Copies of this chain bind each other. A is one copy, B any other.
C-alpha cells in the first residue's frame, strides 16, 4: 500500500505545510519583538522564561526546569550560570540535585518585568477575539495530544 499519494493526501500535506509556515513566521517575529522589548531590562526571552518558571515554584531542580522549558540540561546549565552571575538566581545543592531559587534581586526584577512583558506578549495576539484565542490554544493542544 505504498503507492502514489492520493489527491487527498497531497492536499492534506499542503495544508500542514502552510500551517507550519505561518506558525514559524509568527513565532520568529514574536520572539524577536520580545527580545527587543526585554532589552530595557538587559534581559533575553530565555532568561525571562527561566525567571518566570523559577518564580512560580518554591524550589525546582535544574533538570525539571529544563523539562518544563523544553530545553536541554546543557542549555540550562549555561543559562543558569549566567543568571547566577548576574545575581538573579541562586543554586543550592542537596544530595546530587541543585535546586534553583530567586534571589531578592531576582524577585524584584521579576515583579517589575512580569506584568509588562506579559502584556507585551499578549498584545501580539491582539487581533484575535477571546473565542479565537481559545480555538488556537485548543488546536495546538490537540496537535500534541
Contacts and interface: CB of A to CB of B under 8 A. Distances in A.
Contact of A29 (B12, B13, B70): B70
Copies of this chain held together in the complex: 2
B27 A133 contact: no
A1 interface: no
Interface residues of A, number: 43
Interface string A9-34: 00111011111101111111110000
Contacts of A135: 135, 139
B16 A122 contact: yes
A139 B137 contact: no
A132 interface: yes
Interface string A101-145: 000000000000000001101111101101011111101111111
Interface in A36-92: 70-71
Interface of A: 11-13, 15-20, 22-30, 70-71, 118-119, 121-125, 127-128, 130, 132-137, 139-145
